Chains A and B, each alone.
Chain A
Amino acid sequence: MTTRAGAAPAPPRSGLAGVPTAPVDVTLTKKEFTSDQEVRWCPGCGDYAVLAAVQGFLPELGLRRENIVFVSGIGCSSRFPYYLDTYGMHSIHGRAPAIATGLATAREDLSVWVVTGDGDALSIGGNHLIHAMRRNVNLTILLFNNKIYGLTKGQYSPTSDVGAVTKSTPAGSVDHPFNPVSLAIGAEATFVARTMDSDRAHLTEVLRAAAAHRGTALVEIYQNCPIFNDGAFQLLKDKDQAEARIAHLRAGEPVRVGSGELAQVVVRERSGRLGVVPEHEVTRSQQVLVHDPHDPDPSAAFALSRLDDPSMQHMPMGIFRQVDRPTYDDAVRAQVDAAVTSAGTVVSLDTLLRGRDTWTVDGTRPGEVEQTLEGEVTDGPIAAAGDALVEEADEVAGADGPRTE
């Protein structure tokens, strides 16, 4: 028997809402999104394919080019913004999600994209990545995963397999790797997908959904590094092998690997765990898993992400999770807007500066003072005057604050 896919939710606000669209008489093409800079990746690098797919896809969004921003960190893939004729910032190692969070929150009218790699996002920038996803900032994050450090010439990365022999692990890596999809789901991401550099159609399809998603969309892109980790994903690129290994995730459909006589399906065992069994051998105690990326419960998506192992026996590709949750930047702006609006008339700077407890010194009578107690000038009930000290919470409420270090 099969489980029923959850009903598709009402379409949430688009990730592109608020971003101005290009005039109807302007048709942008790939050419307009291609900068005049010479692309400097190694020959055969998977980054070329991703760049071409993105340049080819961006016109489809119909946005004004000047309202698109790419922010990257450090690493081969982080050179990406230089090759796109949009606004861009090639920042520092690991920090792109933080910078993009500030930008996206300050500017609702921008479509903000982050380009990062497995080292940039998952090692030095791991903290920023998980917190961006937890907050659900309206960003599309393209995580190029080649399971190796390229720009520093071939050390193992946080996604390298145990045993990987690299420049810095001549005896084989002993580090257990991250599974980026599992990590993202665990970090409360609202959109998590996996695709591949060489599958342009699938990549574009995922990008389309990611761009439309309001909130943080994490797209893991398997990307080949021909110099330091060539063939890392060959099993998924070889047509015959791929057919038998890739489980295409499609909403409302059983999760199936392969086809015809050899077709296998993902089932939920009586124990609750997922298994992969030949389709014709499914027993009464097993439920064929029907993919539901909109399920509020992330456990099935997480379990699917665990089907992946270094042998790439079963490799789910596509959108694991796609749920609607208020975004951080929308909420932050809403609070500011509400405060500004509820103030009614504009609160003058002078009122703010004077505060609520002033006295006047009259020049004609030195020392003569007159005290006035005015109304509040801050948003909160009584925030301004005496709250400067860590101790105060104690005396009035007895509440324990955080330590001060």
Chain B
Amino acid sequence: MTDMSTTPLTQLDRVVIRFAGDSGDGMQLTGDRFTSDTAALGNDLSTLPNFPAEIRAPQGTLPGVSSFQVHFADHDVATPGDAPDVLVAMNPAALKANLADLPRGGTLIVNADEFSRRNLAKVGYAANPLEDGSLTGAGYHLHALPLTSMTVEALAPFTTLTRKEKERAKNMLALGLLSWLYSRDTAGTEAFLQAKFGGAPEILEANLTALRAGHAYGETTEDFAVRYQVAPAAMPPGTYRTITGNQALALGLVAASERAGLPLVLGSYPITPASDILHQLSTLKRHGVTTLQAEDEIAAVGMALGASFGGALGVTTTSGPGLALKSETIGLAVATELPLVVVDIQRGGPSTGLPTKTEQADLLQAMYGRNGESPVAVVAAQSPTDCFDAAIEAVRIATTYRTPVILLSDGYLGNGSEPWNVPSSADLPDLTVTFATEPNDLDDEGRPVFHPYRRDEATLARPWAIPGTPGLEHRIGGIEKADVTGHISYDPDNHDRMVRLRQAKIDRIADTLPPLQVDDPTGEARVLVLGWGSTYGPIAAATRLVRATGAHVARAHLRHLNPLPADLGDLLRRYDRVVLPEMNLGQLALLLRGRYLVDVHSHTAVRGLPFTAAELAQVLHEHLLALAAQEVPV
């Protein structure tokens, strides 16, 4: 829409906005649309949705609060931001649940209509904080606006809509206002609404009207003395889109399937926060994708393994509780040495835990959560867009080494979004798979014969001979197999050999890994901060904060958790101190200490939320101080 505003513009380099409201208020959609319009403007950005597990917790209560935080800037952004600069609170519960995160001096935009005595009482406010001076007294810039009644008023011409229906568009009015305040173009949202409600012209018009009314209100009100602009970030040339981690992961699987020449068969059982991948893949049938919604987690991985046996790319997606159920079948895939990709979008545990919150506490389950010596490859994604590359890497390892690969993402990555410089398919690795079609050995009498466990010398992978291939009929299964022939074998020496061969095969993967990237610009750092998975963003931001003070800190991040990169041991020993932040109680630290005998300093938190940059910067400063103190001569 044309910009008619005369309010003075102030340039900012970065802003963090948090939209918060009741679960039914549409905060996720509002945040999502604001994000898309922000991306279209060319800002770099990162988002953090945060919502309750209940689809509709009781209205107006603290457990029902849903929020969406977006951080956008004229430079590259590593995290969704530690704390919001602006809090949009659609009701008293949203204010109460989020106010503590808003620093003094922050901007508050509040839907005053919802601050009724009843709603205030629901969350334990004795007095109306919009009126008792507590907010302005605390230094917040408060804009208490009647967003609901403004929406109803704007939609007065829509005589066939009920009041309740009109009220539901208040999120669009809020979005319009924020778009004005931060100089966002709403064309993208308008197009989105057109596509979404094209079949319901009145609903479409009502949403557009509310959106425009919010924008117009900003232009005419004197409530806001200034509006803001955040210039586009200087990003590498390319075609961009915003994408969530789960979307990127789904696309990565499809891309890998096409590059491998294998049809993708997903077996999945719905579970938060992984279900989006099932949803997304179920819409991609035209790319030859088959999705099977199984009766349970066990069947889901079983279907995937059955498809792999048949020569497809078998994938299953789940979260921690589902991974627990899949353990035995993953063990079968280890024994049968078939490719299988198991995606774990980690969430808070144990048991049902925190279904919609993030955590990294499934690492040891991924590594060891099976009976027997049962090694699998484990890879982790580090950012929403990186989920694409991690998925391709998981498929590469699974198909090359004929092994299950557990791909670890988490709720923060899965639901978070950021701009993605879309790669060209031509730049993706060639993952072409060759099935066995001929005998690969001679029997005792020198006749050609197929031996399903005769391995490739380089990778130690066994041949993938799929049903339908004449002459290669064979039987595989979970009972120990004789080396080479694959017959049932209970021989002690054979078992020892096979256990070591399966481990050696996984270890061989390290041969193909690129050298670790170490971010140590001056080469003077003595502290290395190491991470894996979704701590990438917070660690990068914390490193920046520490370096801004003139201190030196090096940084490295692991994609591969099993096997670990061959050069990791040397890297760890090169630094006087290694700090490892994890959203668990130190699972990777345990592995590294055992493997390398390096005194890794663990920093852990399991709050269901990503680390803040400030928290990690503080931790790094403490380690820098401690290291310096050791040097002080006594």
Contact = CB atoms under 8 A, between A and B. Distances in A.
Question: Are A and B part of the same complex?
Answer: yes
Nearest to B270: A402
Interface stretch (B25-33, B393-401, B499-507, B623-631): B25-33
A69 interface: yes
B66 interface: yes
A20 B469 CA distance: 12
A87 B469 CA distance: 9
A95 B299 contact: yes
Contacts of B290: 105-106, 332-333, 336
A86 B473 contact: yes
Contact of B284 (A67, A86, A367, A378): A378
B279 interface: yes
A381 B192 CA distance: 12
Contacts of B479: 90
A69 B465 CA distance: 13
Contacts of A403: 53-55
B171 A395 contact: yes
A332 B23 CA distance: 35
Interface in B249-267: 251, 254-255, 258, 263, 265, 267
Name which of A109, A335, A392, A394 has the most chain B CB atoms within 10 A of its CB: A394
Interface in A322-360: 332-333, 335-336, 338-340, 342-343, 347-350, 352-355, 357-360
A400 B55 CA distance: 7
A107 B309 CA distance: 10
A379 interface: yes
Contacts of A366: 232, 234
Interface residues of A, number: 91
B573 interface: no
A273 B305 CA distance: 45
Contact of A361 (B49, B56, B235, B473): B235
* Size band of the interface chain B makes with A: 35 or more
Contact of B285 (A100, A128, A352, A379): A379
Interface SS of chain B: mixed
A24 interface: no
B321 to A, nearest CB: 9
B262 to A, nearest CB: 10
B233 interface: yes
Contacts, number: 315
A363 B235 CA distance: 8
A66 interface: yes
Given A89-B477, A343-B286, A101 B292 contact: yes
B237 A362 contact: yes
B332 interface: yes
B356 interface: yes
B232 A101 contact: no
A348 B188 contact: no
A238 interface: no
Interface string B268-304: 0010100110011001111111101011101110111
Interface of B: 23-29, 32-33, 36, 39-42, 49, 51, 53-56, 66, 74, 168, 171, 187-188, 191-192, 195-197, 231-244, 246-247, 251, 254-255, 258, 263, 265, 267, 270, 272, 275-276, 279-280, 283-290, 292, 294-296, 298-300, 302-312, 314, 328-329, 331-332, 336, 352, 355-356, 414-415, 417, 421-425, 467-479, 487-488
Given A89-B306, A338-B285, 11 more contacts: A86-B473, A95-B329, A131-B295, A332-B292, A350-B425, A361-B236, A361-B237, A367-B232, A367-B234, A388-B417, A395-B26
Interface of A: 20, 35, 37, 64-67, 69, 71, 74, 81-82, 85-93, 95, 98-107, 109-110, 127-128, 131, 332-333, 335-336, 338-340, 342-343, 347-350, 352-355, 357-363, 366-369, 371, 373, 378-392, 394-396, 400-405
